[in-house]
Amino acid sequence: MEGWDGVICGDADLALAIVSVLLANNLRELRLRQSIEASAKLLRDHNETLKDESAKLAESNRGLEHNLTLLQTSIGLFGSQGDEWFEKLHSKLSTLEDSFAPRAENERHAALVRGQVWTFLALNIDLDKDGKVNAAELDHLQNAYDTVDFSDLAKRAEEDPIPIRELHQRLVPVFGAASRPPMPSASQGRSRISQRISSAA
């Protein structure tokens, strides 16, 4: 009888171990899926913003073309002098467009940087995907970006998690700089946060 009890206990332990492995694997896949979904949502929002900006730019261009057509028609009433004046105006307009080109490029770059910061925070810092950063996650971020001062947020994070948008505002200038600290991976973030929780316990 004792032999059968041992076999039954052994089978139960084996079944429990298998269930534990399956649950751990499912949990890991769920977290990965949540990270991917959060990143995809940020990219969709970013794309919608770019579409809106493109639509506004296209509308402005149509209005400008209409106004120029009216102006050209009006100037045409003055004959050859009007044509000469319009050529000068066209030259000035081309120069003006060239001067606006760098500004448009800067705006596109700024939008890209903002999207990169959102993605970085979602995948590497906000590991529990609640839109906020707790003390352990903030400590990990401070270690990765020691040139950014998060000291005023540290005490707040101990009592209440910090909304991720506040960190986004502080990191945009860092990501937009010519050189910046390397971004830590999500696995490094989980490891450091786990170490901190273990030491606190």
The residue type found at 61 is N
Q: What is the pLDDT of residues 154-193, one digit of tens each?
A: 888 888 998 888 888 888 887 775 334 444 444 444 454 4
- pLDDT tens, position by position, for the chain (201 residues)? 444 555 556 666 677 777 777 777 777 877 777 777 777 777 777 777 777 777 777 777 777 777 667 666 665 555 555 566 666 666 766 766 666 566 667 777 778 888 888 888 888 888 878 888 888 888 888 888 888 888 888 888 888 998 888 888 888 887 775 334 444 444 444 454 455 445 444
pLDDT attached to residue 70: 66
CA distance 198 to 201: 5
Alpha-carbon dihedral angle through residues 177, 181, 184, 188, given to the nearest 10 degrees = -160
CB 124 within 8 A of CB 189: yes
CB 61 within 8 A of CB 100: no
pLDDT attached to residue 27: 79
pLDDT attached to residue 99: 62
Token pair 């947020």 in the structure block, residue: 153
| Domain locations along the chain | 2-200
Q: Which of 35, 40, 42, 38 lies closest to 115 in space, CA to CA?
A: 42
Q: Which of 200, 34, 66, 60 lies closest to 131 in space, CA to CA?
A: 34
